[in-house]
Amino acid sequence: MSDLFDAERVYAARTPAELAAEYDRVAESYDQVLVDSHDWRMPEIVAGLAAWLLPRESTILDAACGTGLIGVHLARYGFHAVDGLDLSAGMLDVARRKGVYRDLLCAALGEPLAYPSGSYDAVTVAGAFTPGHAPAASLAELVRILRPGGYAIFSLRDDVAQPDFQDELARLSDLGVWRLVHRGAAFQSLPRAEPHVKNRLYVYQIR
């Protein structure tokens, strides 16, 4: 099928517009390929961290939500005040059909977000902090929309160097805007398809 997810095509995208177009192309087959065929574990793990940390009435922004896989798991845990954003309108169409989001917005991480400061108790990001996708500058904007005491729960690729992200994590810590709560062990996030790909989960709490 021509609409199947192809990591090489995704990582070959040179601009946000090209990346959005590629995700639009694969939106309908994304869940089948990533979850059923590739055993993508990230959404369930990220949602589990949120359930460990947060009261069920918490407001959560699922940033780069894609087809809504994290939202499904959050709903199973009993969260109902969950919004999502993604740069791909096609992926958002699939997420909308799942019926687990309060609101969905088409927007790209790395740009100013149309949310007031202090809007959310938590933000989740799974898989978007990887080469060619959302930039490290996204972190400061996500911090802005979190309330004091809120949590940023996100994954970072661990098998490739991303010094810009490490620099930004350190910068925000040095500024005193957040504190590290959890830094997980590196794990295979696509064990069937790309066993060399490893991610690490981070949780920071806003001061």
Mean pLDDT of 128-156: 95
Region 118-132 average pLDDT: 94
Predicted confidence at residue 134, as pLDDT, reads 93
Q: What is the mean pLDDT of residues 105-110?
A: 96
Q: What percent of the chain stands above pLDDT 70?
A: 93
> For 50-69, what is each residue's pLDDT tens digit?
999 999 999 999 999 999 99
Do strands 187-188 and 146-157 pair parallel, antiparallel, or not at all (unpaired)? unpaired
Q: What is the mean pLDDT of residues 99-124?
A: 97
- Confidence tier at 19 by pLDDT (50, 70, 90): confident
Confidence (pTM): 0.92
The pLDDT score that the predictor gives to residue 1 is: 43
Residue 131: pLDDT over 70 = yes
Helix, strand, or coil here: 63? Answer: strand
- Pairwise CA distance, residues 54 & 122, whole Å: 8
Averaged confidence pLDDT in the chain: 92
Superfamily name and number for 7-206: Vaccinia Virus protein VP39 (3.40.50.150)
pLDDT on residue 135: 94
Domain ranges of the chain: 7-206
Determine the Cα–Cα distance for residues 192 and 97; give it in Å rounded to an integer: 27
50, 39, 19, 141: CA torsion to nearest 10: 10
